[in-house]
Structures are given as structure tokens and as C-alpha cells.
Amino acid sequence: MKIICISDTHNLQRDLKIPDGDILIHAGDMTCVGGIDEIQEFNQWLGTLPHRHKIVIAGNHDLYLESVPSMAKALITKAIYLNDSGVEIEGLKIWGSPISPNYQDWAFNRERGNEIRKHWEMIPEDTDILITHCPPFGILDFDDKGKHEGCQDLLEIVQQKIKPRLHVFGHLHDAHEQVKIGETIFVNASIVNTIQYGKWMKILRSLAIDIFQILKKIKRIFINKSGLRLNRKAYESQIEVFFEAIVLEL
């Protein structure tokens, strides 16, 4: 079974060259600011791909999919959408979760400890392929400063209970890579990263994120409106495709 792994495409999906395969996995953050228009564009792109099976979860940027979860399957029609749920494909049991540790009040954020652990305890023990947006602590989870940002509770559940054949995630863009530890192949499938403009662009990027957070709190249910579209363009201007899809046989 040929598996194609991608994550964190952040609206740049049409810049990618995606190899053909049996299963395409996208581990979240299809959008920049979580607007309906972004999700629709992503879904249209999915429809152009030849893979027999396509599986998608959301990430912390995909705000609309958390605020109006009933619309998820209406918007994502060209793939199987998982949200703390599973599917079996050709004998492979697959589970997907969009949850990640709390960070700046983005989507699908949970506090570390009991609140987030209850999501990981939902994962069936016979899972073959696990898809989460966030990585387990200490495994391909470092940020641009080298700090580990993964989830300790997820690490414990994966290594002590689930032991899947494959664990695909993203979220930490700098840690794109794959590694086998014990019985599990771990894949950080992040595709984009921040353009390295220097100090002033980093300041502007931080300011754009701060403005977005303020707008989101004021108009949480209108995340696809014009003010946030400006933030979409600001975010897109600061990222580019850095990595290729990770391909493996299972």
C-alpha cells in the first residue's frame, strides 16, 4: 500500500507536486485563517487528485471546521474527513484527530493534561494508521528555535497503548521528516514554512497574527468576512512550499 503524506499546506496546495499512490493523508491546517472560501478551494483541489482514497483531518488554523462542525462533510466532499473518528480502508484501521495543545486560542486547542488526554484515550488500540495534527512530545516536534512543542500525553498513549504502524502529523513546520521508533513510523508531513525575511518581517508577521486573534475574538462566527481575508493574504505572503510529500509503503 503506497501512502502519500502531507500536512500544513495553508492554501498553497496548488503549488505542490503530489505523487500518485493508494492513500493520500492530509494531517491538518489546509487553510490559513479557516475561512469557508479556503476550505472550498482545498476541496476543489482534492477533486483533481487521482488517489483512490483521500483522508483529511483539520488543524488549529481550520477555524470554521470547529465553529460549525456540522458543515465539515458538506464542505469536504472529495475526501474522508475524520474528527476523533476512524475508518477502515482495505484492511487498514485509520483514526484521525485534529486536537493540539492550547496555543493562542486557535481551533481544536485543548489544555495539556486531562483535557487533551481524553481525546487520545478515544483512539482504538488496534489502529494501524494514526493521524493527528500535533506531534507526540520529543518526536519531530521542534519549532524554529529548537524547542519541543509536542504533546506528552499523546506520546504515552501512542507508545504504551496504540503502537500504530504509522503515525502522521504536522503542526511544527520545521520538523518535516520521518523516523522509525520501535514498531511505529513517525512522519511530520508539514509542507510549508515561513519565508526567512529577517527581523522586520518577523515583527510584521507577529503583528498580523495578533490582529487576526483580535478580529477572531470580536467576530468569531464571521471568520470568512473581509477583515479576515486581509489576514489570509498577509499570512500567505509570509509562507512558501519548503518540502515535498513523504511517500512510504505500508
Count of the separate structural domains present in the chain? 1
Range of the domain at 54: 2-249
Evaluate if residue 225 carries a pLDDT over 50. no
Beta strands, E only, 98-165: 100-101, 109-110, 129-132
Region class of 231: left (phi > 0), else alpha (psi between -120 and 50), else beta: alpha
Quick check: 209 pLDDT over 70? no
Mean pLDDT of 36-61: 97
Taking the model in full, what pTM does it have?
Answer: 0.88
154-196 pLDDT tens trace: 999 999 999 999 999 999 999 999 999 999 999 999 999 887 6
Q: Nearest Cα to 31, choosing from 76, 61, 56, 69?
A: 61
pLDDT of residue 234: 79
Question: What is the pLDDT confidence band of residue 236, given thresholds at 50, 70 and 90?
Answer: confident
CA 205 distance to own-chain centroid:
20
Write down the pLDDT at residue 145.
86
User: In which region does residue 213 sit, left (phi positive, over 0), alpha (psi from -120 to 50) or beta (all else)?
Assistant: alpha
pLDDT band for position 84 (50/70/90)? very high
6-21 pLDDT per residue, tens: 999 999 999 999 999 9
**Overall average pLDDT of the 83-98 stretch:** 98
User: How far is Cα 197 from Cα 3, in angstroms, rounded to an integer?
Assistant: 34
Confidence of residue 213 (pLDDT cuts 50, 70, 90): low
% residues pLDDT > 90 (the chain): 78
Task: Specify the range with the lowest mean pLDDT, choosing from 55-64, 90-99, 221-230.
Answer: 221-230
CB-count exposure of residue 126 (10 Å: 0-12, 13-18, 19+): exposed
* DSSP one-letter code for 135: P
The CATH number for 163's domain is 3.60.21.10
pLDDT tens for residues 127-142?
A: 999 999 999 999 999 9
